[in-house]
Structure 1
Amino acid sequence: MAIHKSSPPSHLLRAFELRLLRCSFSPSDLPSIQSPPSISSPPPPPIQTLADELLQFIESGDYAKALASPAARQIFDFDESSKACLENSKESAKRFYSETVRERVEVFLRGDDEERLLRGFVVMAVGVAAFLAFTQCNFTGPLERFPLVPLLTMNLKEADDGDWLEWEIWARNELMITGSELQGKFSNLQYIVFAKILLMRIKDWLLDESLAPPYGLQSISWWLVRLLLIQQKVLDELSSYMFDLLQVFMRESSNHFGTMEKVVSYWGANFPEEEAQTIVAMLYLEMGIVEHIYGRVDSSSLHFKSAEVASGLHLSVSGALGFRTVHQVEPKAQLVLSVGGDKVENNMSERHNVTCENSDILLTPRLVDVNHESCNGTRTIPNSGVAILKAVQQAVILAQCLSIEKSSRHNEMQRWEMAPYIEAIDSQQSSDFIVRCFCDILRVRWESSRSHTKERALLMMDKLVQGVRDTSLGVAERIYCCFGVHMPSIPKLRKEYGDLLVRCGLIGEAVKVYEDLELWDTVIYCYCLLEKKASAVELIKKRLAERPSDPRLWCSLGDVTNDDACYEKALEVSENRSARAKRSLARSAYNRNDYELAKILWESAMAMNSLFPDGWFALGAAALKARNLEICFQDKPTCVAFVERICHNSQLNKKTATTSL
């Protein structure tokens, strides 16, 4: 879509928005775009040139250059006095991001009225570049070295990364604002904090200035959904604060792009139908993943069904006879996924039945053609045709595994119900990097539960972990469809690898993985399995000497030593943001019969994160013991649940208590 200076502002802005969104879509999901013939036209305004150059860096996956581009420099043009005030302290980081960055954005947004929305888009694009850089470092790879401070790429202040460690600690505390700890050791945390500041500021600016309708920038709500989803994946617990924000921005995104008609209306009547379907399908996929993470099974299934319809698929599971091993004599019944729909490619590719090294078990079953028999009476097994699927369609198929995971009992049968969906993707000749990785992760989780395939699962997981570091595939190609599948973070993927090592009896190797990820609770568990609890305490104390401001270390030490002083220290270094420390202190107070203090601590912990499992029950139990029934009856459904459980061990009349609700 070529836009010149004479084009209406809304068309120019939406063309830029579309280019930014396309960075996360696979080229196989997009129609071929032909460049229009060059037409002599006046040179574009400088702000348009800056935005175009910034987009080119993002499209190529060079996020460091995007953050150092002339557009970013024009926003964050720091003078020498501003640079001289920066120090390696959390207070300096707070002032810089809360005041200096916001002030620079405000100054940049004060421009010519005709350029204001373009200026807003430039700020938004810089935020997206920082967000995608964080995604590359912690989700998709390849692992590259970025400066700890995003704006160091603009020579904000010449210094080594070691001079900015306090800034990284501040960023970690900002992500822990909901009371949840991080899942493990993440890198470049300032990038997602910086991105969130920019995107939220533009969102507020659009509302304050009433600039969004009818001009554009409506896709910012979608980018905020993606950013908040990634932030939730980084946290170790579900956050009620994040859930509320996600619901707001998902509702806005659905209102803007929830149907093909809305997409076509936004980007023009000539907008390709194929791309509109991809946008709608991807939106519903991402919303379904959000609902899946928070355990909302019905909403998640509805979104995945909407994505299936939007992508033009019709999925059904049927039965067929086939072989699963090389040496199998008699065919057995197999579950097979049938893929139909008006948007499925008519040409078929050959089905490949392959095995992995050191295993005679097929990755996909060889199906039997019951209509043909060979001369010796056995049935022949031809190569069955497989429909060629686009990336978004493959993501829709894998999303069905998430629905099965939440809606059925967790046992071996559940994995076999997922098998036809996994095997349907394994049968594809080509898949995007991130789709292939997620498919392999699902297979590893399935095969690691079976004794005959556990070794193969371990080899596949090792290959997955190594693949993250492989630089043979470019950055931009790894981002394709990364928000449309429930891809775990790199630290969580490595933790799954460590868990699999433990199940295979390789505890020593697993400890090395956990230590590198700074998963101290798991390290303690492994040392206890090895009967080396003293070594775990010594390791934690050694790490505390190096990083005394890490609340996770203090909580882990408190778990081992049962010392409340460790939890109090965790609250101190986290600036009173560690919900885990508050919960541990609450349990300790309850165990020594200080029910009033336990009630206060549980109230504070649940105010930070109301989605912690059993938290409301523990608060109700402490309140009942403290004879504070007013708190118990604030939430009737919750109260009924824990009153029915507590009354079995108390002198209260259960019938009277529940009736009073």
Structure 2
Amino acid sequence: MDTTLRLRIEKALIRGVWDDGISLPQSSSVETAKKVVEGQFRDVLTSSEARKLFQIHSNDFDRRFDEIYDSFTSPKGDPTERELLHLSFAVACFHSFIQANWTGPDLDLKPLEVITGDGAEKILSNDFVNHKAVTELSCGGEPAYHLASVPIFLRLTQILLSLPYQYLETIQWWRLRFALVHQQVLDEPVADSSLLSAPLESLESVFSSEPDLLGQLYLEHGRLYHIYSQDKSAAEYFVKAARATGLEYELTGALGKRTKFQQTELSQLVLLAESRLSDDVNRPSITSSLDQTAGFPSATESSGLPKTLLLNDDTLLEQTEFTSSHPASATSRLTHINFQNQPPLHPIDQCIFLALCLNVKNTSPSHGLTGEQMTPYVARVISDPCNWSIHTMALLLRSRLESSRTRTVERSTLQLQALIDQMPTSDSSLSERLRYFHSIPLPSKWEIEKELALRFLSLGVVKSALEIFERLEMWEEVVKCWISMEHPEKGIVIIRDLLEGRKSEADVVVARGKASSEFRQRIQDTSREAKLWCFLGDLEPENAIEYYERAWSVSNQSSGRSMRALGGYYFARGNYSEAITCLKRAVAINPLLARTWFILGCACMRMEDWEGARNAFSRCVALDEDDGESWSNLASMYLRLGAETKPGSEGNITKRDNEALVYGGESAQSIPFANKMQAFRALKQGLRYSYENWRMWYNYMIVAMDVGELNEACRALGRVVEVTSEKVGAQSVDEDVLDRLVEAVTRIPADEGDSVNSDTPANPNEGYWLSKSVNNLFERILLPRVSSPRVFRSYGRLLTWQGKWEQAIKAYLDAYRNGVAGTMEKGETDVKRWREGVQEVEEIVDILRNFGPRAEDYKWRLQARSIVRTFAGRTKDFEDEPDWQRLEGLLEELRKE
């Protein structure tokens, strides 16, 4: 086959639209590919070629599908034709599974119409084949959803795509698409490093001249990172997709109203967007069904799109009513766009917006701003309906956003129900539904129904939620419903009945009637049975160890959940060595769960396995970058790893207030500087996500001082005081650190700032640049919040260095008034305290003698005599003390002066 023709066919399969430039009739592989693109899956998979490819013999019924089809019977001849035919059959199976479980309408094809062979119809059944496929689709100890429709087609897709391909350019792309769907069928995502590390250069070069395909490639690769919760990488690919398609967009503000009775115009978020791709989409004609005041399709539309329910609220408008037609920002790149009548978007660009919207959700905290940021993205897509699947996804996102607001929760729930009801219908073509399916995170039918049940649960409609969960056979959620109704014993009964055979899941019932017990035992889905034992362990803590170990045994040591649960059980009870053993098994099976790595790291810390803890926390922050606690622990491990620990010593880390870590002394000096810098960087990163954690700020301050990052230490000290000063007052200030900062400033010439110009390199850790930060620390943070003699004296030294004599005197006087001498009252009998006060009096007099003459028109002698007389008058009870003569001598000297 000609290379150009083959590539055009591959692109047609990827796009989901047939290329009219491909002349027919061609070979059988070309005709098959065309039927696949047009959604004629029944014709393709029941053809003589497909039946020959998927034939099975009676002696193969007890073998795995990949063993049965280890060498497909393929047509002889051109190898390119053979590979293209295999890919076409794979895509037909793949999209049949997606049609049955995601997009609808109902599939008119049964597994045994595809899988044929001698005696197959007598021994096999559709349900038996599907159950066997579900078992084989389990991966990494995570079971596949057992009620998925026609899972055999997904299993055949997996087998076909795993064949060796030498000529097809897009096979890696189809493997990526398969992974995106497969991960959604599993209970928890399972890492596939081969896909994440697979190079895209070859595909990028092939589609470099096709911006729509290049954008789709980046978008789908970003979706894979999104599934694995690697949000930073996912965001990078979403942005690359926007650049590839040339999408121009800007989130800006404009004056508008959101309620019917609003009088004052307020700034509202709006998304301006313009596509650069040529829009060849036949958009539905919905003008006649639009609510002209709202601008949204109504619920009665017959345009082949999902029903878009109106809000019909007595206060809120259907959408924001803008009072101007252009953004308020004069620097906007898209000022030519009227956001009340924006140009239509290409469907790929709409998919990019939905992906960016999800990334806003992932990278923002759970508060109102998240919804406010996401709403403009969703509204921009909903206002421009062009494709069934994209519009469904946009409505689903809007439903999620509205679920937490009292005025919109009703529309949110009804819209979710409407989306479920429209799945089996044929209101739009299958090819339209599938065309952009891989570019959006559209959930499966059972996931949407589960979401509806959870919505009912949040509204207190527990019985309706329970009915849905029982129908979906999601037993963990069923148990949670019974627990919420204060009947946990009923949940335990359900799990025990399932395990002991008194209650059976749907496909197990079918399998029991179709095969002997010995054969059924051999193919029983051990992953799901292990999951049930884990449920029982969660519900009965007194027997948890027995049940978790039983789950581990039943699954042939492949149940990551059992080891996660058992490791957590041991950790909570202080058995850290056993916890480490279990958790290491768990992360070996599924290394994508950051929480498991975190508990493993904590267990290693308790066992003083610093290397193991460092590795565990490193994996935590790689999986969940915004986990500030893991960053803090990782920094602690860097410091412990480098310290020379003496026998019987805990190491270089001590405790402050039971939680704040401090290190110092000889052990701190033994830590390599490289380790200290690693700890500094880890704490700096973690503080981006734990800004209110004063303990992390304190640790950061100490490490920053040690590595010479004095400006950061100054910032950290200020943050600690801001957070803790209301509770502990002057104790919030680490006065040793403060003194070191002042010393670092005052040991350089005070006139250095006069020589600083634009050509002088800025070093924030010394001299003029550091003095600005330290001065700001005193004036903005410390002095308004705390009153401490040592703080005032430090400030006085800084002012003295600056030559501000009168202000320096005032600072030292404030220190005196807050010290021992300034706070002594009549009648005190503590001689030691009085002697300290005498020394402070002498010190403040010396300061007045030294600085007073330098302050213009400052009456320092009068001030000094007044201080001595006042202190002497309040402490006359100590006249018999020898040190009393010091006060009298000082007063006499001042009189003579």
TM-score (norm: length of structure 2): 0.59
Structure 1 residue 554 corresponds to structure 2 residue 537: no
Aligned to 1:311: 245
The reply to whether residue 198 of structure 1 matches residue 177 of structure 2 is no
Answering whether residue 480 of structure 2 is matched by residue 525 of structure 1, we say yes
Counterpart of 2:184, as a letter, is: K
Q: Which of the residues 397, 417, 420 maps onto 2:376?
A: 420
CA distance in 2, matches of 1:337, 1:586: 47
Is it true that 1:511 corresponds to 2:466 in the alignment? yes
Tell me what 1:58 maps to.
Answer: 36
2:829 paired residue number: none
Q: 1:628 to 1:420 in 2, by over 3 A?
A: closer
Of the three residues 9, 30, 48, the one matched with 1:70 is 48
Verify: 1:119 aligned to 2:85, yes or no.
no
What is the aligned-residue identity percentage? 24
Per the alignment, residue 184 of structure 2 pairs with 233
State the distance in 2 between where 1:631 and 1:509 align. 47
Which digits, 9 at most, give the CA deviation of each residue in 1:58-114, with x for residues without a partner? Answer: 123232432222231342345xxx2x2244xxxx141xx2322012x2x527x33xx
Superposed counterparts of 1:551-590, under 5 Å: 551=529, 552-562=531-541, 563=543, 564-590=545-571
Residue 497 (structure 1) aligned to one of 435, 452, 467: 452
Q: 2:8 & 2:49 partners in 1: Cα distance? A: 18
Q: 1:410 maps to what in 2?
A: 366
Superposed, 1:216-295 pairs within 5 Å as 217-240=168-191, 242=192, 244-249=193-198, 251=199, 254-258=200-204, 262-263=206-207, 276-295=210-229
Task: Give the Cα separation in 1 of the matches to 2:370 and 2:339.
Answer: 28
After TM superposition, list the pairs within 5 Å mapping 1:350-499 onto structure 2: 353-354=295-296, 356=310, 358-360=312-314, 361-369=316-324, 384-428=340-384, 430-499=385-454
Aligned partner of 1:610 in structure 2 is 591
How far did 1:445 drift? Answer: 1.1
User: Is structure 2 residue 67 aligned with structure 1 residue 99?
Assistant: yes
In 1, distance between residues paired with 2:433 and 2:603? Answer: 49
Report the AA paired with residue 271 of structure 2: L
Quote the Cα distance in structure 2 between the aligned partners of 1:12 and 1:155.
Answer: 38
Higher-Rg structure is: 2
How far does residue 168 in structure 1 lie from its aligned partner after superposition? 4.0
Separation (CA, whole Å) in 2 of partners of 1:13 and 1:343: 25
Task: Give the superposition deviation at 1:467.
Answer: 1.6
Give the count of matched residue pairs.
Answer: 583
Secondary structure at the counterpart of residue 317 of structure 1: strand
Tell me what 2:495 maps to.
540
Q: SS of 1:577's equivalent?
A: coil
Query: How far 1:227 sits from its partner (Å)?
Result: 0.4
1:542 to partner: Cα distance? 3.1
* Partner Cα distance (2:478, 2:443) in 1: 21
The answer as to whether partners of 1:438 and 1:485 remain within 8 angstroms in 2 is yes
In 2, Cα distance between equivalents of 1:171 and 1:346: 39
The residue type equivalent to 1:555 in the other structure is C
Residue of structure 1 equivalent to 2:3 = 10
Amino acid at match of 2:534: C
Greater shift in the superposed pair: 219-228 or 180-189: 180-189
Counterpart Cα distance in 2 of 1:160 and 1:456: 49
Gaps of 5+ in 1: 1-7, 265-272, 372-381
Q: Which has the higher contact order (CA 8 A, sep 6+)?
A: 1
C-alpha root-mean-square deviation of aligned residues, in Å? 3.5
Using the alignment, how far apart are the partners of 1:495 and 1:634 within structure 2? 36
Could you say what secondary structure the match of 1:435 adopts? helix
Secondary structure (helix, strand or coil) at the match of 1:386 reads coil
Partner secondary structure for residue 318 of structure 1: strand
Secondary structure class of the residue paired with 1:134: helix
> Matched residue of 2:486: which SS?
coil
Aligned mates of 1:336, 1:344 — CA distance in 2:
24
AA matched with 2:354 = L
1:154 offset after TM fit, Å? Answer: 7.4
| Distance in 2 between residues matched to 1:63 and 1:220, nearest whole Å | 20
Q: What aligned pairs does 1:146-161 form with structure 2 within 5 A after superposition?
A: 146-148=109-111, 151-152=114-115, 157-158=120-121
TM-superposed CA distance for 1:643, in Å, is 6.9
Residues 332 and 589 (structure 1), Cα distance of their counterparts in 2 relative to 1, 3 Å cut: closer
Contact 1:364 / 1:426 at 8 angstroms: preserved in 2?
A: no
Task: State the distance in 2 between where 1:346 and 1:636 align.
Answer: 49
What SS is found at the alignment partner of 1:177?
A: coil
Find the residue that maps to 2:423 and give its secondary structure.
helix
How far does the alpha carbon of each residue in 1:606-636 deviate from its partner, in whole angstroms, 9 at most, with x for none? 1111111222232344445566666446568
Question: 1:67 touches 1:153 (CA, 8 Å); kept in 2?
Answer: no
Which one-letter code corresponds to 1:247 in the other structure? L
Q: CA deviation at 1:434?
A: 0.8
Residue 108 of structure 1 is matched in structure 2 by 74
- Please tell me the residue identity of whatever aligns with 2:313: S
Ranges of 4+ aligned residues in structure 1 off by more than 6 Å? 153-156, 344-351, 643-648
Shift in Å, 1:186? 2.4
- Structure 1 52/153 Cα, relative in aligned 2: closer, same or farther at 3 Å? farther
Question: Which residue identity does 1:218 align to in structure 2?
Answer: E
Q: Which amino acid aligns with 1:602?
A: L
The offset of 1:315, in angstroms, is 0.2
| Residues 1:133 and 2:96 aligned together | yes
Q: Over residues 418-453 of structure 1, what are the superposed CA-to-partner deviations in whole Å (9 max), with x where a residue is unaligned?
A: 11111111211x321110011011101111121111
AA partner of residue 94 (structure 2):
F
2:103 and 2:433 in contact (8 A); partners too: yes
Could you report, residue by residue, the CA deviation over 1:535-581 in whole angstroms, capped at 9, with x for unpaired residues?
21222233332258532322212211233333334334433322101
Instruction: Compute the displacement of 1:119 (Å).
Output: 0.5
Counterparts in 2 of 1:233 and 1:622: CA distance versus 1, 3 Å: same
Question: Is structure 2 residue 134 aligned with structure 1 residue 172?
Answer: yes
Instruction: Summarize the Cα distance change of 1:630–1:333 in structure 2 as closer, same or farther, 3 Å threshold.
Output: closer
Q: 1:603–1:619: 8 Å Cα contact kept in structure 2?
A: yes
20, 27, 39: which one pairs with 2:13? 20
8 Å Cα contact 2:275-2:349 kept in structure 1 = no
Q: Does the 8 Å CA contact 1:148/1:161 hold for their aligned counterparts?
A: no
**d(CA) in 1 for partners of 2:113, 2:251:** 48
Residue 435 of structure 1 aligns with an amino acid whose one-letter code is I
Code of the aligned partner of 1:462: Q
The 8 Å contact of residues 171 and 193 in structure 1, kept in 2 or not, is answered as yes
Unaligned runs of 5+ in 2: 297-308, 327-337, 509-524, 620-629, 641-647, 654-662, 676-897
Cα distance, 1:181 vs structure 2 = 3.8
The corresponding residue for 1:267 is none
Which whole-Å CA distance do the structure 2 matches of 1:565 and 1:162 have between them?
Answer: 37
